[in-house]
Amino acid sequence: MTSPATVSAGPGGVRPRPAGPGDPGELLRRLRARTSGGPGDDPVTHVERLPARAGEAAPWPDWVPEELRTALARQGVVAPWRHQAEAADHAYHGRHVVIATGTASGKSLAYQLPALATLLADPRATVLYLAPTKALAADQLRAVASLDLPGVRPACYDGDTPRAERDWIRQHSRFVLTNPDMLHHGILPGHAKWAPFLRRLAFVVVDECHTYRGVFGSHVAHVLRRLRRQVARYPGTPGRGLAGVPTARRPTDRRTTSGPVGTADGPVFVLASATSGDPATVAERLTGLPVIAVTEDASPRGGLTFALWEPPLLPSSPSAADPTDASRPADDDPGDPPGSGTRDAAPVRRSALRETADLLGDAVAAGVRTLAFVRSRRGAEVIATTARRALDAAVPGLGARVAAYRAGYLREERRALEQALLSGELLGLASTSALELGVDLVGLDAVLICGYPGTRASLWQQAGRAGRSGQEALAVLVARDDPLDTYLVHHPEALFGRPVEATVLDPANPYVLGPQLCCAAAESPLTPADLELFGPGAKETVEELVAAGALRQRPTGWYWRHPERPEVDLRGTGGSPVDVVEAATGRLLGTVDPGSAHFLVHPGAVYLHQGVSYLVDDLDLADGCALVHAEEPDWSTHPRDVTSLSVVSVRSYLDAGPVGLFLGEVDVTNQVVSYQRRRLSSGEVLDTRPLDLPARELRTVAVWFTVSPEALAAAGVETADVPGALHAAEHAAIGLLPLIATCDRWDIGGLSTANHPDTEAPTVFVYDGHPGGAGFAERAYGVASAWLSATRDAIAECGCETGCPSCVQSPKCGNGNNPLAKAEAVRVLDVVLANLATTASAGSDDPGSR
């Protein structure tokens, strides 16, 4: 334990440290003790110790009013940390800034200080706060409201806000907390109603900006440009002056002279991010503005014990296997992008879900406040249900102190769960990434991470949920039966001591830029000056939209031609959520995003909600409704899908003799065609039932390589083994791509074939699971040698004989992981790597060597 000192918590800053909960090393020993057998059975492959760190406080900036200091002192904050004061000072003096420091470093105080000081000094100023999740916005509302500052009137404006409150918020709130979706769907389309607020907008806070990546991040980048454009259309009246703020940068000053839209002085952007690679460049790409980065974390940190945990091997006899593991009810994520499916192969290791559920139950039984992260909604339900049952069996009633938390719950359920966790009523919570972000969960002792979350940034965000009051903490990464997870728990150097990834987004993506320009034109006609705001490709895209009949060009600009607004989904979920309704009562249970509906709520599917099991009677995609009834079947359901792919164009190509490396556009067609029912007690497949669901089409970006049949034969790959070799290499390549790109396995898909009609050769494709691409395939193409070398090593180093989920089997395979040829996959990759290396040494412009 560290000695009593000070820590950063709440809004962040120097405050007294509460007593710690106990020794995380002792807790880890308790958890390890439940495994039986000798030292070889120890599930912990590595323990990393991050020592405690003292904080470096700074004096209050002289522009912070006494009233605000007093309010913060009531919360226990007596001074800011140095990084908070530095970022706040940049923002207050009109410089756009991103603060990118560790979890629990008090980033919120860095934007609260300049924003609240401005609101207190200028009664007309306003602030807009954007969070990627409703939970985070609600948490920040609690923090700001608790300061009880006069005239600030903070309020959340999102999809959960009652209609009766929305007019009041528009007219009276000066600190509006919302999310990019509501800004896109609600505020910007009604910008005239928001004119008084926009006219006086002093600051825009973009919290957890590292989450805005891929297609979602590219959309948000244009939403922020649309916001800047509308703010510039409402020139404000001069403010009364802020001490230390140059007149030209006063937040409430607006240019009243005519000029290009977007060039007038606008609000100051303050961005907060988890530690990430090159945060200034990412923030500039997101906002379209020059941004200063503050990255030195001066906050104190309690010690963290971080363990890598590999579930034990299952007994070789299928009859001896744990029935929960055999059925694997939720290691497969039914909400995957095209190319997903379920595995038929028997598991080799104990399920990460079951292992995490047992660890959660053990921690709660020991009185340890624990948060378990799992990637899928269904997985969160399974972990919570399993832990509750085990606890109730040991101590009746103790299971009530464990719950699940995920997207799709109703607002009232989410808020009740958040409050129960904060109050200590709940000791354990199984959550999707909905609680990964900066919700202030003070007092958590431990975090369990069920499966690598896809990026080191997310890993540290999740681990940082523990110890937020500065006490010693424990984090455990429980590996799934997956090539990447297995690789990481045996190569800790890939996780520890390495910088986190840079966020990838591409505002020039035509599948993002075109729809966003349509939204902008629907809000107000586009002008030539506006196109500069939207960046490269905007002019050409507008011309294409005119030719397609979406826009009409007139002397005063480009106009949206249709009476209804463009339908643009920022998150790529494919439209409005699907309601899950209990047929007998009409009660709304929750929602499912449309991209996952085919997998989660197809007819006959088992749907879990807070531990209660339902069967889906009907899925009406047109009306966005799934009808269900309560039932506890003794079987689980697993959807099956098929995927086809065609090459549209080639952007870049490397000729490496018998090997070709390509980057280009592809069309992917995916359809869920059936589902299996598997008995819960044994994992036995009861039957496979057909489904009649529409196919989905996706145009995206892919990286692919081809190998000549002659080169494969020379490497000892028999013709009959080529499909299995390519299939195995494809699975492992998808699993290892998150090592070099800011993505996770569920962001990408793949396909392999012994003779693709478009390449006329044995080919392996890996593609982005988002319309227009998300930058992942480009990254893979640029570092192909490093990526495929790690893939080759992961397969070769696995101790299994013929392939397992730790190397070449995939939880997303639509072909039931058949055929697979592990040894031959290594030979295929040897051929590819050898020829890429030869080409690089010959001096070619080898993207694979960069």
CB 792 within 8 A of CB 712: no
Predicted confidence (pLDDT) at residue 349 exceeds the cutoff of 50: yes
Model confidence band, residue 406 (pLDDT cutoffs 50, 70, 90): confident
760 CB burial (10 A radius; 0-12, 13-18, 19+): exposed
**Three-state SS annotation for 167-228:** HHHHHHCCEEEECHHHHHHHHCCCCCCCHHHHHCEEEEEECCHHHCCHHHHHHHHHHHHHHH
Write down the pLDDT at residue 574: 60
CB 388 within 8 A of CB 347: no
- Of the two residues 332 and 534, the one the predictor is more confident about is 534
Write down the pLDDT at residue 175: 98
Which tokens hold the place of 328? 């694997």
Q: Which residues of 518-537 are buried (b: 16+ CB within 10 A; e: fewer)?
A: bbbbbbbbbbeebbbbbeeb
Write down the pLDDT at residue 56: 92
Angle at CA of residue 821, ends 641 and 375, nearest 5°: 45
CA–CA gap between residue 60 and residue 68 (Å, rounded): 11
Q: What is the distance, to the nearest Å, from the Cα of residue 466 to the centroid of all Cα atoms in its chain?
A: 19
Amino acid at 628: V
Q: What is the pLDDT of residues 823-835, one digit of tens each?
A: 999 999 999 999 9
CA–CA gap between residue 689 and residue 676 (Å, rounded): 6
Q: What is the pLDDT of residues 114-157, one digit of tens each?
A: 999 999 999 999 999 999 988 789 889 999 999 999 999 999 99
Of 85-99, 225-239, 357-371, 582-596, minimum mean pLDDT range: 225-239
* Nearest Cα to Cα of residue 742 among 218, 46, 334: 218
Please, what sign has the CA dihedral across residues 111, 117, 118, 123? positive
Sheet with strand 292-294: strands edge to edge: 154-156, 175-178, 126-130, 201-206, 268-273, 97-100, 292-294
Amino acid at 408: G
Residue partners of 272: CB distance under 8 A and separation at least 6: 98, 99, 100, 107, 108, 110, 111, 205, 206, 207, 208, 209, 438
CB 126 within 8 A of CB 202: yes
Cis-peptide, bond into residue 819, ω within 30° of zero = yes
Distances (CA, A) of 393 to 360, 390, 431, 480: 15, 5, 23, 26
CB 286 within 8 A of CB 209: yes
Which tokens hold the place of 193? 């109603």
Of 443-447, 492-496, 566-570, minimum mean pLDDT range: 443-447
CA–CA gap between residue 720 and residue 724 (Å, rounded): 8
Model confidence band, residue 166 (pLDDT cutoffs 50, 70, 90): very high
Q: What does residue 520 show for φ and ψ, rounded to 5 degrees?
A: -65, -40
Residue partners of 163: CB distance under 8 A and separation at least 6: none
Distances (CA, A) of 777 to 504, 761, 773: 11, 20, 8
CA–CA gap between residue 97 and residue 108 (Å, rounded): 13
Distances (CA, A) of 19 to 6, 29, 426, 470, 535: 11, 21, 20, 9, 52
Which pairing describes strands 6-7 and 15-16: parallel, antiparallel, or unpaired?
A: antiparallel
* Nearest Cα to Cα of residue 791 among 489, 484, 485, 488: 484
CA–CA gap between residue 349 and residue 359 (Å, rounded): 16
169-179 mean pLDDT? 96
CA–CA gap between residue 794 and residue 807 (Å, rounded): 6
CA–CA gap between residue 820 and residue 464 (Å, rounded): 39
CB 500 within 8 A of CB 277: yes
Of 194-203, 207-216, 316-325, 571-580, minimum mean pLDDT range: 316-325
Write down the pLDDT at residue 242: 35
Which tokens hold the place of 494? 């890939």
Write down the pLDDT at residue 470: 63
Task: Identify the residue whose tokens are 């110790």.
Answer: 49
Q: What is the pLDDT of residues 604-633, one digit of tens each?
A: 999 888 778 899 999 998 889 999 999 989
- Around Cβ 284, how many Cβ atoms within 10 Å? 18
218 CB burial (10 A radius; 0-12, 13-18, 19+): buried
Write down the pLDDT at residue 327: 30
Predicted confidence (pLDDT) at residue 543 exceeds the cutoff of 80: yes
Of 310-324, 481-495, 573-587, minimum mean pLDDT range: 310-324
Please, what sign has the CA dihedral across residues 155, 157, 162, 165? positive
Model confidence band, residue 188 (pLDDT cutoffs 50, 70, 90): very high
Predicted confidence (pLDDT) at residue 437 exceeds the cutoff of 50: yes
Task: Identify the residue whose tokens are 């109603």.
Answer: 193
Write down the pLDDT at residue 575: 65
Task: Identify the residue whose tokens are 């003790």.
Answer: 33
Range with the largest mean pLDDT of 38-47, 201-210, 466-475: 201-210
Predicted confidence (pLDDT) at residue 113 exceeds the cutoff of 90: yes
Per the prediction, the chain carries an average pLDDT of 83
CB 627 within 8 A of CB 647: no
Predicted confidence (pLDDT) at residue 523 exceeds the cutoff of 80: yes
Model confidence band, residue 17 (pLDDT cutoffs 50, 70, 90): very low
SS3 for 636?
strand
CB 12 within 8 A of CB 109: yes
**What letter would DSSP give residue 427?**
S
Range with the largest mean pLDDT of 380-394, 795-809, 833-847: 380-394
* Nearest Cα to Cα of residue 383 among 397, 367, 362, 366: 362
Predicted confidence (pLDDT) at residue 258 exceeds the cutoff of 90: no
Predicted confidence (pLDDT) at residue 714 exceeds the cutoff of 50: yes
Torsion angle (degrees, nearest 10) of CA 450, 301, 422, 581 = -30
**What letter would DSSP give residue 805?**
T
Which tokens hold the place of 689? 């039932």
**What letter would DSSP give residue 238?**
P
- Around Cβ 400, how many Cβ atoms within 10 Å? 13
CB 820 within 8 A of CB 810: no
This prediction's pTM: 0.75
Estimate the share of the chain in helix, then strand, then coil, as percent rounded to the nearest 5.
35, 20, 40
